[in-house]
Structure formats: structure tokens, C-alpha cells
Amino acid sequence: MILQKLSIIIITTFSFIATAQTSKKEMSKLIHDEFQFADKQYKYLMKAIPQDKMPQSYKASEGKVVTKDISWWCSGFYPGSLWMIYEQTKDLEIKKEAERTLSLIESNKTFTRDHDLGFMMFCSFGNAYRITKDPKYKEIILASAESLSTRFRPGMQAILSWDKMADFKGPVIIDNMMNLEMLVWASQNGGNKKTAEIAIAHANTTMKNHFRPDYSSYHVIDYDKNSGKVLSKKTFQGYSDSSAWARGQGWALYGYTMMYRLTKDEKYLSQARNIAKFILNNPTLPEDKIPYWDFNDPKIPNVPRDASAAAIISSALLELGQFTKGEEKKNYIGVAKKMLINLSSEKYHAKLGENGGFLLMHSTGGLPLNSEIDVPLIYADYYFLEALKRYKDWYL
């Protein structure tokens, strides 16, 4: 038993040192190679999807890529990933596919049925405009922000996630934080100034009601739509109402870091740092830093990982490192770096031509729903690519 514990300590220490000593040159090569791989891998994915659908996941048992309609909340991640790949490789075939898929989802700019328009339109058209500066993409983003703003309920001081969801009256999920960037960006780039006010109100309401004393987040808060009274605090995709669903913690960390970048309001930075502390100091966070699907599943370690949560958290930590100093900054960057190195390893990373054309393996969508368990997911790829780009842009 002593020898076994000693071996674990040695392996853990060696892994930490190996990650810490990965040089800038080695990270530069890793990132370059990852984008070159993505360029090739996504050409397999391109050929596996119908022209009117978006890729979502892969069923290995059937050898079939799972696709969704353009109104699905993930419809922006594939074009967004393509744009990031094109930005790094300048591959015109990838750009052509990115442009084709943008035209496919453009009609979502008037979509008002749920809160996911930021995912759908800013991850896609936002990247397209950032890279090309084509004014038509900007106009689509501004129109999308206006559509999303119609989901705001003044009585709740929050954006309603869905009109109907099980027995909930006014459901707001932590994922909603990710859709605020488009609202603030629009107001700062020629759009309606009220969209930023809506985003700030939503962020403040969420900060007040979604978090526990340890800064872990509930998944769903149910409100009275008229009074804003909190009716219940629940989960839809986590282990239990009181548990810390891993991807939800990633959405929270990313969302408040992003809101600080956009507003420079110190309370958002403080919130992000406290969320990061919860995640990074959590006793169930594995040594390789790729979280289990829920931090509180009592069956840990015999439960699925969630590579998508790791990708989101990594990208968020790299941005949080932009706003902090000293050992704190070093820690955020170091953990994010370790996540990226491990996500790039054979344990989590697909081989060329396999995994349906997706980059990462071992994500978990909705375990309690028996949905998308231990599979590739398009948003895991998106945030992995974004984190690689951020590391290259900020730390090399």
C-alpha cells in the first residue's frame, strides 16, 4: 500500500513537472499541429453530414454522425470551429464550408423561442466578422441581439431560458450566461444600447440567485415571471439539485470572466475568481484536470468524464489569466495548459479519420437524460479550438 501511494505521488509529480516544463516552442508546435489536424479531420466531418443539418455528435455503434436542425442550440459551433480553423490554416476549402454553413443558419437571426441565440449566432457570425470584418455579418449579429433581447422579462430581471420546461414557471439556466456576450458586443458596436443593460441585469440576477456559499452554481433557477420571486433551485442535467454539474461550473466561470472583460465591473472579476477557486480546489477534480461529469457524483471515479467541461474551463482560465497577476495568474494558465496538453493526448483525442470527424472524445451531454454519454460533442471541439487560439495569442 505504501509503495502504491508512493508510485501515485511520483507519477503525479512527474506529470506536473512535465506539463510545467513544456516549453513555449513545444506548445507552439502542439497548437500548430492541432489546427493542422483539425483542418484534415473536419474534412471527414464535412463529408458525413447532410447539406441542411449541423453535426452534433457521433454514434460509434452505428458508425453514424448525429446531426441536428439549424434551430438546435448548437448550430453555431460547427461554423465557428471552421472559422477558427481557417484563421490558422488559410485553407480555402474550410472557408467555403464555413460560409456555406453561415448561409444555412442566417435565418436564426429572428429566432426568439429560447435563450440560445448567442451560442447559435455569435459563436458563428461573431468569429466570421472578427476574421473578415464583412459588414453583412455585423448586421446579422445586431439583428440576433435584438431577437435575444425579447426574451428578457423585467419582472425577473433575467432572460427567460424556455417558455415551457417540465414543471418550471420561469426557468433560467446557468448556460444563459454564455449568451450575454452578443448582447454587450452589439450595444458597443452600433446596436441598441439596451441590449447591454439587459445583459448586465441578467448577470446581476444570476449572481444573486444561482450560487451557493462555496460559489458552485445551481443549474436551473425557477422564477415567478411577474414578481421575480425564486420558486425553486433545481437541476436538469446534473446529478442532483444540490450538486455541481461540471459543465455548468464552466459556463459560470466563462460567463463572469467574459462579463468583466466587457464591462470592467470588478464584482464580475471577483465572482469569476471565486468560481475558479471552487473548481480548481475541488477534491474530485482529477489529477489530469479533466472533470468528471458532475463534481458530486458519489460514484466517482467510476463515472464518465466531460471533455467539453475541460475545454470550456480551459478557455475561461486563459482569459482569467489576462486579468490577474502573480501566482494566481500562473496557476490559471498552468491548469489551462495542462488541460490542453491532456485533451491533446491519445486518452481524449481522436485519430485522423476516426471519431466521426470530431476532434475530442469523452464528453457527456446529459447523463440523467441518458443522452450523449461518453461521446464527441461539437461544442467540446469549439471551446478546445478557442482555448488553443487564446493560448497562442496571449501566452506564446
Work out whether strand 220-223 and strand 171-173 pair parallel, antiparallel, or are unpaired: antiparallel
Which amino acid type is present at position 35? F
Q: Distance between CA 285 and CA 341 in Å, rounded? A: 16
The angle formed by the CA atoms of residues 36, 106 and 71, to the nearest 5 degrees, is 90
CB neighbour class for 40 (10 Å; exposed up to 12, middle 13-18, buried from 19):
middle
Residue 83 to residue 130: CA distance in whole angstroms: 10
Yes or no: say if 251 and 275 are a contact pair by the CB < 8 Å rule.
no
DSSP 8-state assignment for residue 148:
H
**What value, to the nearest 5°, has the Cα angle with vertex 90 and ends 89 and 93?**
105
d(CA 152, CA 385): 31
Residue 279's alpha-carbon distances to 216, 244, 247, 320, in angstroms, are 8, 9, 11, 13
Q: Is 116 a catalytic residue?
A: yes
- 216: which 3 cell numbers? 458552485
> In whole angstroms, what separates CA 268 from the centre of its chain?
18
Contact in structure between 253 and 260 (CB atoms under 8 Å):
no
Known binding residues for substrate are 116, 175, 235, 247, 251
- Catalytic-labelled residue, pool 114, 175, 288, 306: 175
Strand order in the sheet with 220-223: 171-173, 220-223, 230-234
Q: Which of 91, 114, 116, 222 is catalytic?
A: 116
Cβ(39)–Cβ(92) under 8 Å?
A: no
Binding residues: 116, 175, 235, 247, 251
Active site residue 175: yes
Up-side HSE of residue 97: CA atoms within 13 Å toward CB? 27
> How are beta strands 363-366 and 371-375 bridged, if at all?
antiparallel
Q: Which residues are catalytic?
A: 116, 175
